[in-house]
Amino acid sequence: MTHETAIKLFESKKIRSLWDAEKGKWYFSIVDVIEILTESPRPRKYWNALKTKLISEGSELSPKMGQLKMQAADGKYYLTDVADTEQLLRLIQSIPSPKAEPFKRWLARVGYERLEEIENPELTAKRMRELYKAKGYSDEWIEKRVRGIAIRDELTNEWQKRGVKEQREYSILTAEISRATFGMTPSEYKEFKGLEKQRDNLRDHMTDLELIFTMLGEASTTEIARNRDAQEFDENLDAAVEGGTVAGSARKDLERKSGKRVSTRENFKEIPEVKKRKIGTGKKK
């Protein structure tokens, strides 16, 4: 199956999603949906109990649901219970929630928008910009974030062509680029910024300069891997360390000359919209 990963938002809450190009349908993380609909602090436990109830009642719904590997906050991929749109609509009937009807409308819109994006890929980037704009980020920050996503996609595509297959290997390579660039792995960076490992996307909480050096590290890694024709994990690991080192050296040079650290503890959690825009442009309130 050809899967395209994505993060969908319902009322600013993240839902991990996969698009199956062969079947032409979305698959959604059931636990993520349940967390939103029930606001339960333990959505996994809620789902396990509901699944047991459905099986005991002889429901055909639960056995039809499958598992796909989805990325967790630690950057690793785990088998996750998923459901397609039709299955989710049926599952929602078993979950008492005032958000059920709005969520059904959201599912319909997600499916329609995907069809539009297949016809016109530029809509994907446009909608991404609109989403960040609605959340209060500055236009300058958004452009860097979107560009960073493109550079990241180019790097992971390069890794795939060069024999890096396992998601665990992707995570290790990414960690080494970050360590060489900032002196911290993504997990350590999240802790540095006071972010939650399971919920927060590190790059959504980076300032302009942090995004720029992240892009430099990943773009440098792509260039080095191509020029060396790096193959398999070990050779690409060397390229990742050296690509990150290029960005790390540039960061240290800027810090020496500016007298200010690039890495900052600032994040966009619980920050007023006006301040969020100012941080996105590198200005402080």
Looking at residues 254-280, what average pLDDT do you find?
Answer: 75
Going by C-alpha positions, the residue among 254, 236, 234, 233 that lies closest to residue 182 is 254
The torsion region of residue 16 among left (phi > 0), alpha (psi -120 to 50) and beta comes to: beta
Q: What is the pLDDT of residue 67?
A: 87
Q: What is the pLDDT of residue 162?
A: 94
What are 190-219's pLDDT values in tens digits?
999 999 876 788 999 999 999 999 999 999
Looking at residues 25-43, what average pLDDT do you find?
Answer: 88
Q: What is the pLDDT of residue 62?
A: 63
What are 222-266's pLDDT values in tens digits?
999 999 999 999 999 999 999 999 999 999 999 999 999 999 999
Looking at residues 111-115, what average pLDDT do you find?
Answer: 53
Q: What is the pLDDT of residue 128?
A: 74
What are 17-33's pLDDT values in tens digits?
887 766 777 888 999 99
Q: What is the pLDDT of residue 208?
A: 94
Task: Kindly state the helix (H) or strand (E) to which residue 86 belongs, with its residue range.
Answer: helix 85-92
What are 44-93's pLDDT values in tens digits?
999 999 888 888 877 767 666 788 888 776 667 788 899 888 888 888 88
Q: What is the pLDDT of residue 1?
A: 41
Q: 16 vs 106, which has greater pLDDT?
A: 16
* Highest averaged pLDDT of the listed ranges 102-116, 129-143, 199-213: 199-213
What are 161-193's pLDDT values in tens digits?
999 987 789 999 999 999 999 999 999 999 999
Measured CA to CA, the distance from residue 16 to residue 37 in angstroms comes to: 15
Q: Is the pTM of this model over 0.75?
A: no
Q: 248 vs 114, which has greater pLDDT?
A: 248
Q: How confident is the model at residue 116 (pLDDT cuts 50, 70, 90)?
A: very low
Burial class (CB in 10 A: 0-12, 13-18, 19+), 197: middle
Q: Which residues, 6 or more positions from 228, have their beta carbon under 8 angstroms from its beta carbon?
A: 235, 239
Q: What is the pLDDT of residue 2?
A: 44
Structure tokens at 173: 């390579």
Q: What is the pLDDT of residue 95?
A: 86
Looking at residues 154-167, what average pLDDT do you find?
Answer: 89
User: What is the separation, in whole angstroms, between the first and last Cα of the chain?
Assistant: 48
Cα separation values, 135 from 83, 209, 284, Å: 28, 20, 18
CA atoms lying within 13 Å on the CB side of residue 158 = 25
Are 17 and 5 contacting, i.e. CB atoms less than 8 angstroms apart? yes
pLDDT at 124 > cutoff 90: no
Q: What is the pLDDT of residue 119?
A: 44
Q: How confident is the model at residue 14 (pLDDT cuts 50, 70, 90)?
A: confident
Task: Kindly state the helix (H) or strand (E) to which residue 66 belongs, with its residue range.
Answer: strand 66-71
pLDDT at 151 > cutoff 50: yes
